[in-house]
Amino acid sequence: MSIKTIPNIQLIEIKLSDVKVGRIALTPDNLCAFEYDVDYLRTGVSISPFYLPLQAGVFVSKRDPFAGNFGVFNDSLPDGWGSLLLDRYLTEQGFNPHSLNTLERLSLIGKTGRGGLEYYPENNIILPDEVIHLDMLAKEAEKLLQSDYTGGSLELLYRYGGSSGGARPKVFVKIEDGDWLIKFIASTDPDNVGEVEYKYSLLAKACGIDMPETKLFEGKYFGVRRFDRQNNSKQHVISAAGLLNADYRIPSLDYSILMTACLRLTRNMEEVYKLFKIMVFNVLIKNKDDHAKNFSFILIKGEWHLSPAYDLLPSNGFNGFHTTTVNGQGSPTQKDIMAVAQNIGLNKQRAKDIYEEIFEKCKEVR
């Protein structure tokens, strides 16, 4: 069988809320070169303030950690489960996924990616929605994780999950009045992982953590309302990995660095307190898979905010340690938590009160 090729793409145009943001090309070394649109420079907001400030000129990416891509655009590409889906689907359709460059992969995402950025020309293969049967999709996802998977509903899985990240199988679907992300069971998960994540999402809300709406669909599938979709519009979101050019596959951050970035970006100490609550909660429930893509920032009416929290449940992390360290420690104590609070300038008594409140509410799960 001959290998199909995607039409050669020399330039990708980027839009946000139907406004042209800029364009990306590749250098001879396959590094991304980005330039803001002239009109956007007059009226827009930087889509990645630390690495793509709102100014004229061409920005050229570094090779690492995103294979020559900028972090903000890498956020749009699937990783983990979504990457598996995309590569399997391309192979089934006769393409060689390993031959695709960054521009070609962004064109496949088009306007279906996470967040608000859209990429043109688009070459995605999204068909009209149909009735969603979660049990069927869950079974197909389970089969796909087996090495001998052939056939099945790969096209359907790709349609609903091709731009998702993280290791667990998941799909993006419209249900009644909203856009939802629904997770299935991975081969290493306990059978009740959906119930577990739902329980911890309610606990996080009880601890005063800003969480999206969550539901347990059909009594077993954990779902979370997408915060990058509000009032039928797309919101621009950037992960901490994309913002800081941090490798999310390995330990690359400390909460002190993350909170400093939060303060610089949002210019609002209340946003830092929100992040402090998440750090405390992660430590107390032993959520050690707190990597750089599990924190994000959202642009609302031209101002940056810490996004609602997500992926909050006990996990092993990197070799049993927190992937994002606390005061340099992978197995942090309360003393380390308070040291981070002091270093960023949080009020000592308020930080202590937050810790004690979350500690009390999390007693039953420790």
Contact 101, 8 (CB under 8 A): no
Predicted local confidence at residue 199, as pLDDT: 96
What distance in Å separates the CA atoms of residue 185 and residue 333, rounded to the nearest whole number? 32
Residue 226 has pLDDT above 90, yes or no: yes
Entry field: residues in the chain: 366
Query: Residue 130 carries which side chain, given as an amino acid letter?
Result: E
Give the closest residue to 169 by CA, choosing from 157, 155, 151, 152. Answer: 157
Instruction: Please compute the mean of the pLDDT values over residues 273-278 and round it to a whole number.
Output: 98
**Average of per-residue pLDDT across 100-118:** 91
Q: Is a pLDDT exceeding 70 seen at residue 144?
A: no
Q: What does pTM read for this prediction?
A: 0.89
Q: How confident is the model at residue 259 (pLDDT cuts 50, 70, 90)?
A: very high
**From the CB of residue 348, how many other CB atoms can be counted at a distance below 10 Å?**
10
Q: In the predicted model, what is the mean pLDDT of residues 351-355?
A: 98
pLDDT score of 145 more than 90: no
Q: What is the pLDDT of residue 6?
A: 67
What is the rounded distance in angstroms from the CA atom of residue 326 to the CA atom of residue 201?
22
Instruction: Give the pLDDT confidence score for residue 306 in this predicted structure.
Output: 98
The pLDDT of residue 5 is: 63
Q: What is the pLDDT of residue 122?
A: 87
Distance, CA of 228 to CA of 226 (rounded, Å): 5
Domains of the chain in start order, with CATH, are: 12-79+92-120 (no CATH), 134-229 (3.30.200.120), 236-365 (no CATH)
- Strands in 160-225 per DSSP E: 170-175, 178-183, 214-217, 221-225
Strands 253-254 and 296-300: unpaired
- Does residue 286 register a pLDDT over 90? yes
pLDDT tens per residue, range 200-223? 999 999 999 999 999 999 999 999
pLDDT at 241 over 90: yes
In tens, the pLDDT along 32-83 reads: 999 999 999 999 999 999 999 999 999 999 999 999 999 999 999 887 666 7
pLDDT of residue 169: 81
* Contact assessment for residue 194 and residue 352, using Cβ atoms and an 8 Å cutoff: no
Distance between CA atoms of residues 127 and 265, nearest Å: 38
Task: Indicate if the pLDDT at residue 131 is higher than 50.
Answer: no
Q: What is the pLDDT of residues 152-206, one digit of tens each?
A: 555 555 555 555 555 678 888 888 778 899 898 876 778 899 999 999 999 999 9
- Distance between CA atoms of residues 106 and 99, nearest Å: 14
Q: Is the pLDDT of residue 270 over 90?
A: yes
Does residue 239 surpass a pLDDT of 50? yes
CA 68 to chain CA centroid, nearest Å: 19
CA angle (131, 132, 138) in 5-degree steps: 155
